[in-house]
Each structure stands twice: as structure tokens, then as C-alpha cells.
Chains A and B, each alone.
Chain A
Amino acid sequence: MVVSNQKHIEVSNFWKIFTHDQEKIDVGSPEEIKRVEKDDSKVIAVRDVSFEVNRTEVFVIMGLSGSGKSTLVRCLLRLVEPTQGKAIMDGTDVTSLDKKELISFRREKIAMVFQHYGLFPHRTVIENAAFGLKIRGESKENRRKKATEVLETVGLAGWEDYYPAELSGGMRQRVGIARALSNDPPILLMDEPTSGLDPLIRRELQEELLHLQEKMEKTTVYITHDLDEALRLGDRLAVMKAGRFVQSGTPKEVLQNPADDYVARFVKDKQEQLKEAEVI
């Protein structure tokens, strides 16, 4: 499949509706959507979301908890099955993959960093970092070599043989990042990687991420609820509310022209800070 070099991720008309029964819902019909909205047993988590991410770009999806951003990013990896929609990532239509293809897609093309780290407590730091390599069957020496390298990159040299439980939160997330990077995937998904950390550590990790991004140039989808973080890290950002993108654009565009009240409230403090800064 030939894809333009520019668009690395193309998501179109993505829907995720959680239901208790495995009922098939036709999202194309407005009446059906109205019915689902009234039904308490069904939740529309992602609603007709489309976006594109260019190669090596960091695309930030920002929203409060419950806005559907975590669900959206899980749908991209099909950790949660999307109800409808299409996602083409690195030339692969993820939504049409069968089980086997999906597994090899996850092994080769993409890696994810989790808010609560998702580290394996029974494995050492280096074993955690090498997990993806092991899963796809790389040799022991290869695993060791790559994982050691990556751990050094994230500043964890010397911690290889510790267990995650012996590390601080910030260090654990570095292990999570190392684990994602050791696979050397073209695409990274980050689900609020810094939100569990102290402000200082968070800032440090953000700087580290910027630094890594300069070096590694991964196409990244970054989820956060923190506007500061979104502005620092994002090349472009989208604001999500109740499953929808209410606005997307460069950080500057969003700051200067909030599309609606929700976004305006989101960016208000920041605008004021900027104004104050200008006054001074």
C-alpha cells in the first residue's frame, strides 16, 4: 500500500459505544444515536472523531477525565474494539486486521506508554524494558543490548537489575518509556504518562520527552488533561469533550481562538498568564 509520507496516522469517523449486550449499532442513523443516548446502559465514549497526524509530529489530545480520550487511544491499538471507523497507521488499516495481523502490528509498528505504568512486577527493569523484544522473539543478546541502550537513553543506566517496586514513580515511568522505545516502533501512543507524578518530576520527564522526541522523531499521539503539558509538547492539539473533538489546531490557534465555552474555560488561566507576562 502506498501512502503519502506526510500523513502517518489517519483516523476517520471513529465511534466507540459501550454496551452490555453485544448489540450492533448503526452509527450512521441519527435516530439510532438518539435512542442510544437515552439508553442508560449504553455509553457513547467516542463520537465521530477524525484526525490526521503527520510523520514525526506530536499530536496532543486534551480533555478532562471522562471525555473519552483514553478510550480513543485504546481503540487505535484495538485494546478496545471501536464500534465503527477507520484508522490507517503507518500504511496499515488497523481496523481491518485479523487477530494474527493485529498481534504483529502491535509488535512492530506501535508501542504505548500507560498512565499507571503497567510494568511487570515480577520482572527486573531490564526485563521490563526488553519485554516487547522478547515477545516478538528476538535473541537474548539482542534483547540485552537494545534494552541496555534504551535504558541509558532514558537515564536509567545502573538500574537494570532492580525491580519496579524499588523505583520511584518517575523512574517507573522511565521504564515504561524505555519499554516502548526498545521496540523502536514508528508510532508511539502515550496515555497521560506524567499525570501520576509530582510537579517537579513531571516537568523533568516532559523535558526528557522533548529531548527524546528530537532524537528519535516518533509519530506520537499524546493524551493529557494538562494544558501546560499540551502546549509544551504538542505540535498540534485537539480538545476533546464528551467523546467529540471540539477544536483542533496548533497550540497558538487554540489559545487565541477557543472554539467554544468549554475550550475557552480550559485555556482561560493560560491566557491570563500570558497577558500578565506581556504587561510585565
Chain B
Amino acid sequence: MPPESLELHIDYLISQFVDWLTVNYAGVFEQISDIIITLLLSVRHVFLIIPWWLLIAIIGIVGWLLTRRVTTTVTLVTLSFVIVFFGMWRPAIDTLSLVLTSVIIAIGLGIPVGVLMAEFDVINTVVTPILDMMQTLPGFVYLIPAIMLFGLGKVPATIATLIYSTPPVVRFTNIGLRQVSSEIMESATAFGTTRFQLLKEIRLPLAATSILGGINQTIMMALAMTVIASMIGAGGLGKHVLVAINRLKVGAGFEAGFSIVCLAIVIDRLSSGIAEHWRPPES
């Protein structure tokens, strides 16, 4: 054991900094809180207005339209029913609302950042290590700053989810834009496109498949994180797993856990189906 005299703690400094932040910028955090809570409640409101059977029907129809495959459609509907059978519909809707809320914000922030990275190499150089860090840190770590600034509840849960799940959509936007072939960009430039026109007419549409792939990844990571974020009050399916663990109820834990898997597969199939649909015809 190293001697105690070598220990050098900075915890009190960080606590002081956070205190200072929360005191001096209380208004800002409150506003962020309000925005997130409003968004979250409206998303959940939409899902709760729709009767459960109608939602399952919509999942089936959309699944069919996107994939045109009977097996996929039947699987999606069956998995949705599994959630119903386990009595997990309401918590699943809670989880789904939180996922969608953070994904909406992640897309709103992530695509513009990705575009800026593709347009300006300087921004690319600066942001890339930040993204690397965001993705290498284990999800747990994000709970700390979220709680520090926003306390417990759905808002910090959304924030933690947001931080964890934003990198893919940023990266895929950047990569998608950069991968547009130089021949195509050259011919567009030859016709007198401005930088903005080139982005809007050529690069963004051609990067759409990649961007949607990134959104799919973001959704999946958000789902993973909302489960972890149940520790700070995300509620939903994660809470049921957490409670089951604490009470050593293996069966209940399985039901909740399996519902998460079902939800994950349904969301993944639907969102990757949309991404696939966007692909321009190739030679």
C-alpha cells in the first residue's frame, strides 16, 4: 500500500465547482430541465394516447412496408405481444419515451456537428478525440455529472443517455459526408454549386444511408443507457430489472430483461429498415 501521505485529493475542488455551477447557473439548468421534461412528456403523451393494440398494429404495418417480409413482420408483432404478456407495456412505453426524447435531441445536435466536422477539418480534429472519450468512458460514468447538475429523476437520465448515445450519429454523419465520391462532387462543382448547394443537393442526400445507420446506432445505445440510467431515476423497464436484482427475484428480472430485448429488436428492425429504404439505387 502506498503511504497515505501521498494521497492528493481533488474531490472537494470538484464539489465546489459543481456547487458554484448549480448556484450561479441555476437558471440555465432549470431551463434545460424544462425543455427536456416538456419534450419527454409530449413524447410519452403521444404513446399513451395510442391504444396498445393500435400501436402493435402500427409496428406490424410499418415493419411490413419497410421489409416486405412476412417473417420479420410476424416477429415484430410477436415480440410486442411478449411485452404485453409480461405486463411490461407501461414501463416499456416509459423507456421508449425516454429513448426517443434523447434520440431526438441527439439527432438535433449530432447531425449539425457531424456536418461541421465534414466541412471543416479543424473541427474534425478537435471533436474526434472528444467523441472517442465519450464512447470509451463506461456508461456509468455519465451518471455522475448528470446527477451533479440535475439531481435525480428523468432529466439527468435523459442527459446521461444523450451524452452516451450522441457519438454514433455525429460520426456517421461525418463519415457519410466525407465518403461521397470526389467525382460526383467535382461534377456538381463544375456546374456552379455553392458550398451550401453542394451539401444540400449532393452530399447530404448521398450520406443519408450512412446518417440513418448512425441514428440506428444512437437509438440502440440510448436504449442500453436508459437501462443503466434507471439507477438515477429513469424508471421504465430498467427500474424493474434493478428492483428484481435488489430483491433477488430472478423470474421477475428475466421478464423485465427479456422485455428490454424485445423492445430493442423491434426498434432496431424498424430503424434499420428505414435506413435501408433510403439507399439510392446502385449499379
Contact between chains at B281 and A134 (CB < 8 Å) = no
- Bound CA span A166–B187, Å: 20
Contact between chains at A165 and B184 (CB < 8 Å) = no
Contact between chains at A111 and B187 (CB < 8 Å) = no
- Bound CA span A111–B188, Å: 11
Distance of A81 from chain B, by nearest CB (Å):
12
Chain B residues within 8 Å of A120, by CB:
184, 188, 202, 206
> In this complex, what residue of B is CB-closest to A103?
B192
> In this complex, what residue of B is CB-closest to A104?
B192
Q: Verify if A159 is at the interface (C-beta below 8 Å from B).
A: no
Q: Verify if A122 is at the interface (C-beta below 8 Å from B).
A: yes
Q: Known: A135-B201, A165-B282. Is A122-B191 also a contact (CB below 8 A)? A: no
Contact between chains at B281 and A166 (CB < 8 Å) = yes
Contact between chains at A135 and B192 (CB < 8 Å) = yes
Distance of B202 from chain A, by nearest CB (Å):
6
- Bound CA span A135–B201, Å: 9
Among A132, A163, A166, A179, which residue has its beta carbon within 8 angstroms of that of B192? A132
Q: Verify if A155 is at the interface (C-beta below 8 Å from B).
A: no
Distance of B196 from chain A, by nearest CB (Å):
11
Mark contacts of B178-218 with chain A using CB atoms, 8 A cut-off: 1 yes-contact digit, 0 otherwise.
00000110111111111001000110011010000000000
Contact between chains at B187 and A114 (CB < 8 Å) = yes
Distance of A155 from chain B, by nearest CB (Å):
21
Distance of B209 from chain A, by nearest CB (Å):
10
Mark contacts of B240-283 with chain A using CB atoms, 8 A cut-off: 1 yes-contact digit, 0 otherwise.
00000000000000000000000000000000000000001111
- Bound CA span A122–B192, Å: 19
Q: Verify if A66 is at the interface (C-beta below 8 Å from B).
A: no
Contact between chains at B206 and A112 (CB < 8 Å) = no
Distance of B13 from chain A, by nearest CB (Å):
45
Mark contacts of A111-136 with chain B using CB atoms, 8 A cut-off: 1 yes-contact digit, 0 otherwise.
11010111111100000000110111
Chain B residues within 8 Å of A103, by CB:
192-194
Among A77, A116, A118, A136, residue most surrounded by chain B Cβ atoms (within 10 Å): A118
How many residues in B have their beta carbons less than 8 Å from beta carbons of A? Answer: 21
Contact between chains at A112 and B197 (CB < 8 Å) = no
Contact between chains at A77 and B202 (CB < 8 Å) = no
Among B189, B197, B206, which residue has its beta carbon within 8 angstroms of that of A121? B206
Task: Report B123-152 residues with CB < 8 Å from chain A CB.
Answer: none
Among B187, B189, B280, B281, residue most surrounded by chain A Cβ atoms (within 10 Å): B187
Distance of B179 from chain A, by nearest CB (Å):
13
Task: Report A77-124 residues with CB < 8 Å from chain B CB.
Answer: 77, 79, 103-108, 111-112, 114, 116-122
- Bound CA span A120–B283, Å: 12
Chain B residues within 8 Å of A136, by CB:
192
Distance of B271 from chain A, by nearest CB (Å):
20
Chain A residues within 8 Å of B194, by CB:
103
- Bound CA span A79–B201, Å: 19
Contact between chains at B190 and A111 (CB < 8 Å) = yes
Contact between chains at B183 and A116 (CB < 8 Å) = yes
Distance of A43 from chain B, by nearest CB (Å):
18
- Bound CA span A108–B190, Å: 11
Contact between chains at A118 and B187 (CB < 8 Å) = yes
Contact between chains at B189 and A79 (CB < 8 Å) = yes
Chain A residues within 8 Å of B191, by CB:
106-107, 111, 131-132, 135, 179, 183
> In this complex, what residue of A is CB-closest to B202?
A120
Distance of A120 from chain B, by nearest CB (Å):
6
Contact between chains at B282 and A121 (CB < 8 Å) = yes
Among A79, A104, A111, A135, residue most surrounded by chain B Cβ atoms (within 10 Å): A135
Contact between chains at B280 and A121 (CB < 8 Å) = yes
Q: Known: A118-B183, A121-B206, A122-B205. Is A165-B190 also a contact (CB below 8 A)? A: no
* Known A103-B192, A135-B192, A135-B201; further 5 A-B contacts with Cβ < 8 A: A106-B190, A111-B190, A118-B183, A118-B187, A121-B281
Contact surface of B with A, Cβ cutoff 8 Å: 183-184, 186-194, 197, 201-202, 205-206, 208, 280-283
13 A–B contacts, CB within 8 A, in A order: A77-B190, A79-B190, A106-B190, A106-B192, A111-B190, A112-B187, A118-B183, A118-B186, A131-B188, A131-B191, A163-B280, A165-B283, A166-B281
Contact surface of A with B, Cβ cutoff 8 Å: 77, 79, 103-108, 111-112, 114, 116-122, 131-132, 134-136, 163-166, 179, 183
Q: Which 5 A-B pairs have the closest CB atoms?
A: A118-B187, A106-B192, A107-B192, A122-B280, A165-B283
